[in-house]
Chains A and B, each alone.
Chain A
Amino acid sequence: EEQLVESGGGLVKPGGSLRISCAVSGFTFSNVWMSWVRQAPGKGLEWVGRIKSKSDGGTTEYAAPVKGRFTISRDDSKNTLYLQMNSLKTEDTAVYYCTRGGTKPDFWGQGTLVTVSS
């Protein structure tokens, strides 16, 4: 059974850092492009960024609001996707979803809540 399980969310102060993870099972993680999508409380979906598979270069793309502050990485040996978030702002408060697919995400985790507040 395919599973994406996010972890690591929590409360962080503005300007702080946090790394969230996504543990993958049920499919061959190393072959797949992955993405992060977020959803602020009561708001719509926002694409955060994506990472290609290593065989396709492993490169990343980011949305403008997070570019330069967030970094997506992957550890294929651990079947885990990461999102390193630095210089966090209150507007980064959201549920962060790990998704399979670097273009049209076809499978989503349950999300992890990141709250940025003093």
Chain B
Amino acid sequence: DIQMTQSPSTLSASVGDRVTITCRASQSVSVWLAWYQQRRGKAPKFLIYQASYLESGVPSRFSGSGSGTEFTLTISNLQPDDFATYYCLQYNTPPYTFGQGTTLEI
């Protein structure tokens, strides 16, 4: 199975900051990577697919990049609602696998 490793596990930031979360795959997943946001006690929300395509309705301050084994999620101009846990998901080869999550906290 493909292993996904996110870093950092926890990230402290402030409103207005720009932050970057990294996701590394144990083997190439091409561009078949998605990002999700999960607020406490809620179901995950779909943010980005195919590494860099923003889901409809997601604010443009979210962006994704990368291919192969290294990917990043960047959030610019952090807003209070952005403080949550973020997960990457590789969907190149079943079984699909999530990263362990990155918690963005104030």
> For the complex, is B87 an interface residue (Cβ under 8 Å from A)?
yes
Per-residue 0/1 for B70-106: is the Cβ within 8 Å of any A Cβ (1 yes, 0 no)?
0000000000000000010101001111111100000
Which of A42-50, A73-81, A84-92 is found at the contact surface with chain B?
A: A42-50
- Residues from chain B with a CB closer than 8 A to the CB of A111 are 43
* Residue of B with least CB distance to A60: B94
Number of A-B contacts (CB under 8 A): 54
Tell me which of A61, A62, A64, A108 contacts B44 (CB under 8 A).
A108
Q: How far is the CA of A63 from the CA of B97 in the complex (A)?
A: 9
Number of interface residues of A (CB under 8 A): 21
Chain B: number of interface residues, binned into ranges? 20 to 34
Tell me which of B34, B94, B96, B98 contacts A44 (CB under 8 A).
B98
Q: Is the CB of A45 within 8 A of B44?
A: yes
Q: Is the interface of B mostly helix, strand, loop or mixed?
A: loop
* Residue of A with least CB distance to B33: A104
Q: Is the CB of A103 within 8 A of B95?
A: no
- Residues from chain A with a CB closer than 8 A to the CB of B89 are 45, 47, 104-105
> For the complex, is A27 an interface residue (Cβ under 8 Å from B)?
no
Given A104-B34, A104-B49, the answer on whether A45 and B87 have CB atoms closer than 8 Å is: yes
Per-residue 0/1 for A85-118: is the Cβ within 8 Å of any B Cβ (1 yes, 0 no)?
0000000000001000001111111110000000
- Residues from chain B with a CB closer than 8 A to the CB of A64 are 1, 95
Q: How far is the CA of A114 from the CA of B101 in the complex (A)?
A: 22
Tell me which of B43, B95, B97 contacts A109 (CB under 8 A).
B43
Give the shortest distance, in Å, between A36 (CB) and chain B (any CB): 11
- Residues from chain B with a CB closer than 8 A to the CB of A97 are 43-44
Of listed B1, B43, B45, B99, residue having the most chain A CB within 10 A: B43
- Residues from chain B with a CB closer than 8 A to the CB of A44 are 87, 98-101
Q: Is the CB of A106 within 8 A of B43?
A: no
Give the shortest distance, in Å, between A51 (CB) and chain B (any CB): 12
Give the shortest distance, in Å, between A6 (CB) and chain B (any CB): 10
